[in-house]
Chains A and B, each alone.
Chain A
Amino acid sequence: MTFARVRSVPLPMAPPGALALGFVLSGCAGPQSMLAPAGAEATDVFHLSLVLFAGAGLILAWVVVTLALALFGPPGVRAVLSSRRAVLVAGLGVPLVVLTLLLVVGLMMMRERTLWPEDGPRIAVVGEQWWWRVTYLAPDGQRIAGANEIRIPVGETVTLALDASDVIHSFWVPSLGGKRDMVPGRTNHLRIRAEREGRYRGQCAEYCGGAHAFMALEIIAMAPDAYRAWLMAAAEPPAPPSEALAIEGQKYFLSTGCGACHAISGTPATGLIGPDLTRVGARRQIGSAMLDTSPETLARFIADAPAHKPGTLMPAFPMLAREEIDAMAAYLWSLR
């Protein structure tokens, strides 16, 4: 996979041991890692993590050394360790101090996020078994449909309105921040702010039955100007297909009834059950970030979706001829 690798820069506040640990850990981080932060919140939590890991290492070492002294230490040390006072200081006093500090830090970090300016776009995301329905709310009030891929402007606070249509899902893109559950009947809000351009992978984090393992998505953080240009273009219906094969494919697409479940803006296909396909050719991946988009993968998915995603509502189409499927794939590939 060729994802933009995001390197983190630890803050100077982290102790040297934690810095070293941070480099080691982030060195092996993939595109879905909280150790490769690219968002404001994720970066804060990453630094917090380094402090926590270093602190935990120190405490563990302290316990092990104390235990070793209790086992093998000189009689004087062991007499001190076996006193009631030692139990109280080490078991009660030290934890109280450490935990109080951590609590204050945690509460301050929670408050911090509520202070971000609300300057970015609002995007509604609905979790469905097993994909993500995305709706951009354009400044003019227009709703622009998408699926499984979310584009956001860098440096702006994006408010995601999270909901679920069937069971509970959880929205999580580790490089940008923590997760938030998508509970049917409740709308949760999650604010994210990307600090750099890039592609960040996410995955459903609440077990949602069947193909939970295959419910991923990608967030693409773009320069604000590029984002706005893209959104304006996305608001328009795609150009009609020009290649012969794609024209043929559109015909099949509409005649086989694909439009009962899928919508393509500007065509009679207006189904709302499955993902919107208006710009599916421009999405980097299909099947909720399962397969890299290409005419071949599109054809494979159309022919036998359950083979890729067991339990999906989309049936296999063994009755379709190879040429029909290839033509439909070419049509979808042309939707950019």
Chain B
Amino acid sequence: MSQAPATEAGAGIPPPHYDRPRPPQELVGLEEVWRLPKGWRVLSAINNSVVGYLYIGAAFLFFLLAGILGLLIRTQLAVPGNGFLSQDTYNQIFTMHGTVMMFLFAVPAVEALGVLLLPQMLGARDLPFPRLGAFAFWAYFVGGLVFFATLFFDLAPSGGWFMYPPLTGTAFSPGMGADFWLLGIGFIEISAIAGAIEIIVGVLRTRAPGMTLDRMPIFAWTMLVFAAMIVFAFPAVILATMMLEVERAFGWPFFITAKGGDPLLWQHLFWFFGHPEVYIIFLPAAGMVSMIVPAMAQTELVGHRLIVVALIATGFFSFGLWVHHMFTTGIPMVSLGFFSAASMAVAVPSGIQMFAWIGTIAAGRLRFATPSLFVLGFIAIFTIGGLSGVMVAMVPFDWQVHDTYFVVAHFHYVLVGGMVFPLFAAFYYWAPAFSSRPLSERLGRWVFVLMFLGFNLAFFPLHIAGLLGMPRRVYTYPDGLGWEPYNLASSAGAYVFAAGILLFVLDLFRNLRPGGPPAGNVWQAGTLEWLPTGNYSVRSVPHVEGRYPLWDRPDLPREVVEGAHYLPRSATGVRETIVTSAVEGEAQFLMRLPAPGWSHVVAAIAMAAFFLLLVAKAVTLALVCGVLSIAAMVAWMWRSDPPDAGAVEVAPGVIVPTYVSGPASPAWWAMVVLMLVAAALYLSYVFSYLFLWTVSPQVWPPLSRLPDAAWTWAAFGCLSASALALAAGDRVLRRAGPPILLAALVTFGLLALVGAIALDVRAMSAAGIAPTRDAFGAVTFMAPLLQGQVTAAVVVIGLFALARLAAGRLTAERRVVFDTLRLLWLYALGQGALGLALTHGFPHLAGAGG
């Protein structure tokens, strides 16, 4: 083996190259380990290319379904006093239209594109946790279908996609619809978080060697920011849905004013998620545009670093704007001013991106193919949406147009312009990378023209309807208010838009041909996803030396196919991908990946059944499904964490280990992200506790009725004992001490962790505090409930670790399972201590002050 001569592109050390031709058995071996299951068994596949396809297909299906609901809405509103839909049906339909578009289309579609594109774009063989990605898909798809089907049984929720209590409490929504929303959507959010964890670790740790953060494509940046935003935003709404469901099922009055609750708490939590959600959807779409524009203009993106800064700034600002959805709720003027300023500030990073794209177009020569048309349409529509967004950020203007059709028009301009048009650009742009035939340019132009004209006709007039006084979410309206022409035009436009979509579906049927060898780099683009691929992704992983490797080295595709670069074979005889350092992209570790199987499919379907059967109050059956789901997960995890296979060569002179533990391991990173999710959820809880106290201090008990401090200290004692047991267990494992001692310590520590919760509940009950009596009781008992949730996870992983210890699969060296357990355990200890301090300590301060 010798190294190829250095190229101009690679300054400094030349990248390692293998001699060619490579032995033919290398490619045979690669194809063998990455082979897809045959026939219908392909559903057990976990390759990102297959799961990504299914994922985007499912998201598109929900787009069509929710789009049909939109057409029904526009049909009903075409003329005043229309009797096409009944009041109740309409209320269900508009609730489902919003909910399905946001939760079942927009977020999953973006996540799906990430799953489909990221590994190839980053030069990885697959995402780091392919089964987790496949699990997330199946959970979403099955849960989503059942959720949508509630419409056909008149069981769909009708409280609006924002589900404001008290309307959605049992008093005003006694049916099952609200429960389907709360449990169904809560479940799908869990799937979105699973996907986000996978994307964060994938982007940070599985890039091609040499791909520093500065060389990383903008789309990967946007997916990183997207996933990080999900991690911090989704927990707020998960907590809110938990509290509302607990209120509905068990009568804990979080949102009932008569018992000290407050409906505005829901709005704060919902919009703390809901506003970032808009950028969660928009940023990846902007990332797609940042990939498409340079390729179509054949020049590098202008202001690459400015765009990265803009993306991060958007993600950051978007968490400071949620109150602009609540300008009319009677919030103090000072807060209004602050949130108005923040709402305007968030427009600035979008301005930077907009002019960077225009600058890139100016720097090159834009090829007027269908993807470019959709990008130009996006720029026009999104600019209008941004301008009306600045208007509604002005508080006095918002007081008028809030909850009117002006706002409906505004956010359709932002979401359809900012997300759907880039998505269609992406469909036309990336189809040749995944289909043996590109989509039709001739049909594509028509699709664009119909969608662009139809969209503007459908939504521009609604601005005016809103200014003329038409409120949102009305199932009909009287004539004589001047709204008729705008509504009729809008309905006509909706059908033109739908015709465009229909034509696109036709194009898909005629030209999308997955499975075969892809049509390839028809746009002469410069990024890695355009390298020739098979089921194994790229034949060999190139060393990346710039932002546009294919432009830097025109010979790269040939070299890659010939196996000149990293990992031209399976080094360990199983699926594997190179793990690199997070910032500099240096090869560090060869991660072995799992093979196809059914356990994650079973786990996902059983978990969906668990949540949905709970809604139907079939508790026994639900529990059976829950246990089945956990059993399937254990079966799936049992084969993970394979033993050390020694160091292997991934390129000439580059030898990496096949087993690492601690922070070097992707599993450690995934667990850290999960801890951030749990912490965000708990901070939302702390916020809720303090919020309810500021609203209703009168339901907080006097000092004399607080729990006995002895119980509190006993609970703290349990947590300390648990911590000591964990530390001692860690020492025993590190020094390869007797497994029986380790098992005893883990068992004792877990029992102590559970004991702390029992003592907490006992202390509160002994003091006569009950969760159903008032908001204080409810929010106090929420702490052990949340702690119980985390503790249950620690106990399951702990038992799993004990089983592996017994089977000899957990040792001083092979310890990733224990590391993972330890991280979550430490988190549970911290959360438990914070919870005790808050629920046992804070009332003393409050009582003493009041």
Q: Which residues of A contact B (CB under 8 A)?
A: 1, 25, 28-35, 41-42, 44-45, 48-49, 52, 56, 59-60, 63-64, 66-67, 69-71, 73, 77-79, 81-84, 86-88, 90-92, 94-96, 99, 102-103, 105-107, 109-111, 114, 129, 166-168, 170, 172, 174, 177-181, 183-186, 188-189, 201, 203-213, 290, 310-311
Contacts and interface: CB of A to CB of B under 8 A. Distances in A.
Contacts of B358: 63, 66-67, 70, 81, 90
B262 A185 contact: yes
Interface string B322-362: 00000011100100110011001101100111111011111
Contact of A56 (B87, B329, B388, B468): B388
Given A35-B468, A56-B387, A168-B164, 14 more contacts: A52-B390, A52-B397, A60-B383, A63-B354, A66-B355, A70-B362, A79-B362, A81-B359, A99-B345, A102-B390, A106-B340, A168-B167, A179-B400, A205-B471
B167 A167 contact: yes
Contacts of B345: 99
A91 B400 CA distance: 29
A186 B265 CA distance: 13
Contacts of A178: 328, 396, 398-400, 402
Contact of A96 (B257, B264, B348): B348
Contacts of B366: 71
Contact of A67 (B376, B472, B482): B376
B399 A103 contact: no
B359 A28 contact: no
Nearest to A204: B471
B473 interface: yes
Given A95-B347, A99-B348, A174-B469, A179 B362 contact: no
Interface of B is mostly: helix
A213 B249 CA distance: 30
A45 B400 contact: yes
A203 B469 contact: yes
Contacts of A188: 329-330
B468 to A, nearest CB: 5
Nearest to A173: B469
B467 A35 contact: yes
A34 B467 contact: yes
A107 B340 contact: yes
Contacts of A73: 362
Nearest to B483: A30
A186 B330 contact: yes
A163 B687 CA distance: 25
A87 B366 CA distance: 18
A34 B361 contact: no
Given A66-B358, A103-B340, A206-B403, A44 B390 contact: no
B68 to A, nearest CB: 22
Nearest to B348: A95
Nearest to B368: A71
B149 interface: no
Interface in B479-508: 480-483
B172 interface: yes
A191 B351 CA distance: 37
B362 A81 contact: yes
Contacts of A211: 87
7 A-B pairs closest in CB distance: A178-B399, A185-B257, A32-B469, A82-B363, A188-B330, A213-B474, A30-B482
Contacts of A25: 464, 467
A82 B299 CA distance: 11
A204 B483 CA distance: 17
B471 A172 contact: yes
Contacts of B481: 1, 30-33, 201
A212 B474 contact: yes
B155 to A, nearest CB: 16
A80 to B, nearest CB: 8
Contact of B394 (A35, A52, A184): A52
Given A69-B362, A205-B402, A64 B468 contact: no
B404 interface: yes
A213 B302 contact: no
Contact of B302 (A87, A99, A186, A209): A87
B606 interface: no
A31 B478 CA distance: 12
Interface residues of B, number: 82
B390 A45 contact: no
B159 A209 contact: yes
Nearest to B333: A110
A31 to B, nearest CB: 7
Nearest to A37: B400
Contacts of A60: 383-384, 387
Given A73-B362, A82-B362, A310-B86, A184 B306 contact: no
B477 interface: yes
Nearest to A56: B387
Nearest to B166: A167
Nearest to B354: A91
A115 to B, nearest CB: 12
Contact of A181 (B167, B330, B336, B476): B330
Contacts of A96: 348
Given A63-B354, A84-B302, A209-B159, A106 B394 contact: yes
Nearest to A94: B351
A96 B158 CA distance: 41
Given A70-B362, A103-B344, A33 B467 contact: yes
A88 B474 CA distance: 43
A82 B383 contact: no
A52 B396 CA distance: 12
Kindly name the residue among A44, A52, A87, A110 whose own CB sees the greatest number of chain B CB atoms within 10 A. A87
B166 A166 contact: yes
B351 A92 contact: yes
B788 interface: no
21 contacts: A30-B481, A35-B467, A49-B400, A56-B390, A67-B361, A67-B376, A69-B362, A82-B302, A91-B348, A95-B347, A102-B394, A166-B172, A167-B167, A174-B400, A174-B469, A185-B262, A207-B167, A209-B173, A213-B474, A213-B477, A311-B88
Nearest to A289: B478
Interface string B233-249: 00000000000000000
B817 to A, nearest CB: 48
B405 to A, nearest CB: 11
B538 interface: no
A197 B845 CA distance: 55
Contacts of A310: 86-88
Contact of B355 (A59, A87, A185, A204): A87
A201 B482 CA distance: 13
A310 B85 CA distance: 13
A33 B344 CA distance: 26
A77 B397 CA distance: 37
A184 B469 CA distance: 24
Nearest to B396: A109
B528 interface: no
Contacts of A180: 328, 330, 399
B352 A92 contact: yes
Interface in B677-726: none
A95 B359 contact: no
A130 B384 CA distance: 35
B459 interface: no
Contacts of A107: 337, 340
B394 A168 contact: no
B469 A179 contact: no
A210 B347 contact: no
A29 to B, nearest CB: 6
Contact of A87 (B258, B356, B464): B356
